[in-house]
Amino acid sequence: MAKNLVVYFSVYGTAKNIAEEIARQTGADIMEIEPAVPYDSNRDHYSALAKLAKKEHDEDMRPAMKNEIPVAEYDNIFIGYPMWWYTFPMILYTFFDKYDFSGKTIIPFNTHKGSGDGGTYRTIKRLEPNATVLEGLPVEMTAAERGDPERIKQWLMRICPNL
Ligand SMILES: Cc1cc2nc3c(=O)[nH]c(=O)nc-3n(C[C@H](O)[C@H](O)[C@H](O)COP(=O)(O)O)c2cc1C
């Protein structure tokens, strides 16, 4: 039987909400990408986080991960993250650099405040040419706060009815 994993990176908790809902509906295992240096999740400190994220992006940084994700043990891997500065947080590059996704199926999802997926699903296809990348699900932040179970259900039925 195929093994399914939901991996997510989330600072304010909305991508985590979606990740948990996907795991609930599919029975997949779930793991968080934990940064070696934690980001400030206090929303009152948004400008400091925005500044740090911009620096990481502009300097093409690869923030270190604290944990390992056992990608090799799984067949289908959901990968979720927020939009940061019109793309995914730079730690996602760390994650994609670190693991071999050859022959695996990647199913992306993300949270955002208007940018949709910002072209990141295409970026994943470019970074992982030997993986199959299925249609992703962008979820606006307010909907993501609620978990958006019905939309996730419809999406899952459309892209992977056999999961
Ligand atoms: C540093 C930073 C940059 C962001 N840049 C964008 C952006 O370019 N486009 C967008 O639609 N939303 C942007 N957002 C909004 C986040 O994508 C949104 O709040 C998301 O739901 C956060 O996910 P999380 O709760 O899992 O951390 C940004 C948020 C932060 C903190």
Residue 137: domain span: 4-159
Task: Quickly state the pLDDT bin for 10 (edges 50, 70, 90).
Answer: very high
Evaluate whether 156 touches 18 at the Cβ level (below 8 Å). no
pTM of the model: 0.98
| 95: alpha, beta or left? (left if phi > 0; alpha if psi -120 to 50) | alpha
Using the mean position of ligand 1's atoms as its centre, give its distance from the Cα of residue 134 in Å. Answer: 23
Per residue in 13-72, pLDDT tens? 999 999 999 999 999 999 999 999 999 999 999 999 999 999 999 999 999 999 999 999
Termini Cα distance of the chain: 10
pLDDT of 113: 98
Has residue 162 got a pLDDT over 90?
Answer: no
- Provide the number of structural domains found in the chain: 1
Residue 52 near ligand 1, beta carbon < 6 Å: no
CATH number, domain of 10, equals 3.40.50.360
Atom 28 of ligand 1, residue of closest alpha carbon: 84
pLDDT of 1: 84
Using the mean position of ligand 1's atoms as its centre, give its distance from the Cα of residue 150 in Å. Answer: 22
Using the mean position of ligand 1's atoms as its centre, give its distance from the Cα of residue 112 in Å. Answer: 5
Evaluate whether 9 touches 15 at the Cβ level (below 8 Å). yes
pLDDT of 117: 98
DSSP labels for the chain?
---EEEEE--SSSHHHHHHHHHHHHH--EEEE--BSS-----GGGHHHHHHHHHHHHHTT--PPBSS---GGG-SEEEEEEE-BTTB--THHHHHHHHS--TT-EEEEEEEESS-TTTTHHHHHHHH-TTSEE---EEEEHHHHHHT-HHHHHHHHHHH-TT-
> In b/e form, how buried is each residue of 143-153, taking b as 16+ CB within 10 angstroms?
ebeebbeeebe
Task: Quickly state the pLDDT bin for 161 (edges 50, 70, 90).
Answer: confident
Residue 49 near ligand 1, beta carbon < 6 Å: yes
